[in-house]
Amino acid sequence: MKRIKSFKQEIRDSIVLTLPIIIGYFPIAMAFGLLSKNTSLSFRDTSLLSLLVYAGASQFMALDLISAGVSWGSIILATFLLNLRHMMMSASLAVEFKDFPKKYIPLLSFGITDETFSVISFNKDKINLSFVLILNLLSYASWNIGTMVGYGVGEILPASLQSSLNVGLYAMFAALLFPEIKKSKNILLISLIAVIVYVILFYSKLFSSGWDIIVAVIISSLLGLKLINNSKEEL
Amino acid sequence: MKSYLLLIIGMAIVTYLPRLVPLMALTNRKVNKKVEDFLSLIPYTSLSILIARGILTSNDEMILASIVGIGAAGIISYIKGNLVLSVLSGILLSFIVLNITI
């Protein structure tokens, strides 16, 4: 007889799947907290950035622009462009979340980051409401506690350790993506197309940083769509 | 200390809206097969692009450590299929490379 997984077991599985994000976020958030303190932001503002914005790259960018004396309007615009990529992820998740009660959507949307999106998208068989909620909660907690700890005692992390922990999140992207390539030749081709399109856009400097990601995602996904339609092979 | 409250609220709003609007608009609604296929490709294309961007935007002293760490994590995950092990190995290798090259 097939029994439904116990609640405890389900929580444990969710935590294990979130572990790479927790491990990756904490030290990077610490680095952010420390840098924010050195940019002379208050503890309140530093914490609020992580609590309300919750988007790592744009938080670091904001510190950079604040110390360069850039106007607030421009910082907000730059933040918008950099974080617009989440729009594509949000749209993609709509397919996975289609059976969730709508009242949870505002909360689940807030939790979309590159990392949570990746882990959810590549564990399609495990997606259910409690998994997504636990994943979001733990990632959010790691980012915010890390920020506050970093503001307090960030100096204790050596710089080379911080840099290599930063590689950790990209390492996670690769660790999620590479096994997928095994499943179909199309995925390998589509991934290569995406890299080539992005590299061309990056060096051509036709689009500002932020836009280049979105345009590359759209172009390469459309090319990928053409590819799977031509080959008639399912993903 | 200067208060950045208004800036932070502005940043929070422009970050939240792109996360919220597509999900709100598309959840519980039938999308046609083409659109669904397009959306289902986004995880692959966006991850590939984020990895490429991570390497292209890393500074000179980090670039080798990044490539080694990312590559090792991908290969170990390809063989072993263990996410945590792959990520930790990637971090460790990039830490080693970074300390050798500096």
CB nearest A87 (choices: B9, B22, B47)? B22
- ipTM associated with this complex: 0.89
Q: Within an 8 Å CB–CB cutoff, is residue A72 touching chain B?
A: yes
What pLDDT score was predicted for residue B31? 77
Q: How far is CA B14 from CA A28, A67, A101, A217, A220, in A?
A: 22, 21, 25, 20, 25
Identity (one letter) of the amino acid at A220?
S
Residues of chain B with Cβ-Cβ distance to A40 below 8 Å are 1-2
Query: What is the count of residue pairs from A and B with beta carbons less than 8 Å apart?
Result: 290
What pLDDT score was predicted for residue A98? 87
- Within 8 A by CB and 6+ apart from A88, the residues are A214, A217, A218, B22, B42, B46
CB-CB contact of A164 with B91 (8 Å): yes
Mutation target among B45, B61, B88, B91 for the A interface, most CBs of A within 10 A = B45
Spatial separation of the C-alpha atoms in residues A74 and A62, rounded to whole Å: 10
Domain of residue B83, residue span: 5-101
CB contact under 8 A, A24 and B87: yes
Mutation target among B1, B14, B19, B30 for the A interface, most CBs of A within 10 A = B19
CB-CB contact of B16 with A110 (8 Å): yes
CB contact under 8 A, A79 and B83: no
Residues of chain B with Cβ-Cβ distance to A92 below 8 Å are 39-40, 42-43
CB contact under 8 A, B27 and A122: no
pLDDT tens-digit map of B6-65 = 999 999 999 999 999 999 998 877 778 888 899 889 999 999 998 999 999 888 889 999
Query: Does residue A3 carry a pLDDT above 60?
Result: no
CB contact under 8 A, B10 and A72: yes
What pLDDT score was predicted for residue A2? 47
Q: Within an 8 Å CB–CB cutoff, is residue B43 touching chain A?
A: yes
pLDDT range class, residue A1, cuts 50, 70, 90? very low
Spatial separation of the C-alpha atoms in residues A215 and A203, rounded to whole Å: 14
Candidates B30, B68, B97; CA nearest to A170 is B68
If you average pLDDT over every residue of chain A, what do you get? Answer: 90
Distance from CA of B20 to the nearest CA of A (A): 5
CB nearest B49 (choices: A23, A171, A216)? A216
CB nearest A199 (choices: B52, B62, B87)? B52
pLDDT range class, residue A137, cuts 50, 70, 90? very high
CB contact under 8 A, A168 and B81: no
Mutation target among B29, B46, B70 for the A interface, most CBs of A within 10 A = B46
Query: Does residue A147 carry a pLDDT above 50?
Result: yes
> What tokens were used for A155?
């100096």
What pLDDT score was predicted for residue A186? 92
Identity (one letter) of the amino acid at B91?
I
Residues of chain B with Cβ-Cβ distance to A232 below 8 Å are none
**Phi, psi for residue B2 in degrees, rounded to 5:** -65, 140
Number of domains, chain B: 1
Taking CA–CA distances from B28, the nearest residue in chain A reads A98
Rg (CA), chain A: 19
pLDDT above 90 covers a percentage of chain B that reads 65
Q: How far is CA B68 from CA A9, A41, A119, A221, B96, in A?
A: 35, 35, 22, 27, 10
